[in-house]
């Protein structure tokens, strides 16, 4: 796995180098627009490695954040949002305890939908405040960044990159509702690519194939209200009609934090690179006690997926 990590980092750095370094420059300037939470924790290691190899990294984040904090290997640039710390914590963390409560499935579903809607509105509003911050936009333009590294599950980074006319590199696991397929214009045949949460294998019966086609429709509603506002925002900012597919398709390179060991094989486009193992730098071997417990429980690896 360490070898896989080293290879993945070299692939990432090589792609950024080919996109962003100007002749005669010692290192590129990377504007990092992360998503909150564990998404940033995954990207942070890459930013640290980029800094160690001579890149100048500037991380752009709201002034209120859970995990994006100052560090010596990047410059943190923040922008104001119209939420207090208490409101932010309540929206992002306030309902997390519900995951441990015993409730009817439908109650959990509808309360989760309501919570997700509020969080989505917060992130979309913060993005609008960022893009309408003329002073900050002028500062970013003057900084002459070579590339934007962002997680497209928060489309604001992609929209900002296009607004600034800077190449974008996406760093992600996946985007719900198969929007990564839409953004890459990649074939997505329901006949043999199992959809997320269906628990189907790549060898499906007829009824499983029907389920594989219908199941994503249940998630479409969630994606429509949580991500579609970015299309309206993009149309306003870029002064032309934009769809969410247009916003997401701006990337020069897509870096997927997965591989075909964890995921079933799928068609890919030339600008899609799989970098599974990139977040396994600090792995620790299981103790004999843990191994014994796993063996005795009859745990199967495929239950994880």
- Spell out the domains of the chain, with CATH numbers in brackets: 2-281 (3.40.50.2000)
Q: Which residue has the higher pLDDT, 145 or 8?
A: 145
The three-point CA angle 43-28-7 to 5° equals 50
Q: Is the pLDDT of residue 21 over 70?
A: no
pLDDT at residue 134 is higher than 50: yes
pLDDT in the model for residue 104:
66
Which range of 113-127, 132-146, 193-207, 259-273 scores highest in mean pLDDT? It is 132-146
- At 26 the pLDDT is 58
- Indicate the range of 73-77, 90-94, 260-264 predicted with least confidence: 90-94
Q: State the average pLDDT for the chain.
A: 81
In this structure, of 4-13, 55-64, 76-85, 146-155, the range with the lowest mean pLDDT score is 4-13
Say what the pLDDT of residue 295 is.
56
Rounded to an integer, the average pLDDT of 101-108 is 66
Q: Is the pLDDT of residue 44 over 80?
A: yes
* pLDDT over 70 (residue 8): no
């Amino acid at each position: 796995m360490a070898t896989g990590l080293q290879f993945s980092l070299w692939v990432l750095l090589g792609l950024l180098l080919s996109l962003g370094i100007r002749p005669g420059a010692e290192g590129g300037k990377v504007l990092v627009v992360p998503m909150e939470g564990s998404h940033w924790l995954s990207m942070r290691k890459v930013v640290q490695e980029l800094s160690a190899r001579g890149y100048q990294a500037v991380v752009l984040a709201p002034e209120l954040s859970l995990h994006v904090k100052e560090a010596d290997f990047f410059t943190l640039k923040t922008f104001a949002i119209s939420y207090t710390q208490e409101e932010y914590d309540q929206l992002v963390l306030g309902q997390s305890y519900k995951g441990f409560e015993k409730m009817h499935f439908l109650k959990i579903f509808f309360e989760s939908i309501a919570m997700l809607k509020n969080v989505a509105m917060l992130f979309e509003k913060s993005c609008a405040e960022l893009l309408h911050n003329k002073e900050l936009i002028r500062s970013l333009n003057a900084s002459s960044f070579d590339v934007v590294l962002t997680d497209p599950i928060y489309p604001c980074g992609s929209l900002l990159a296009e607004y600034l006319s800077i190449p974008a590199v996406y760093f992600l696991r996946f985007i719900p509702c198969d929007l990564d397929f839409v953004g890459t214009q990649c074939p997505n045949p329901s006949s043999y690519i199992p959809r997320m949460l269906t628990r189907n294998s790549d060898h499906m019966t007829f009824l499983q194939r029907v389920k594989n086609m219908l199941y994503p429709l249940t998630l479409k509603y969630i994606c429509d209200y949580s991500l579609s506002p970015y299309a309206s925002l993009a149309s306003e900012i870029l002064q032309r009609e934009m769809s969410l597919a247009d916003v997401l398709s701006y990337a020069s390179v897509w870096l997927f934090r997965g591989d075909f060991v964890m995921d079933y094989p799928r068609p890919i486009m030339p600008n899609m690179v799989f970098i599974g193992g990139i977040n396994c730098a600090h792995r620790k071997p299981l103790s004999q006690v843990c191994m014994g417990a796993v063996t005795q429980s009859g745990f199967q690896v495929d239950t994880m997926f």
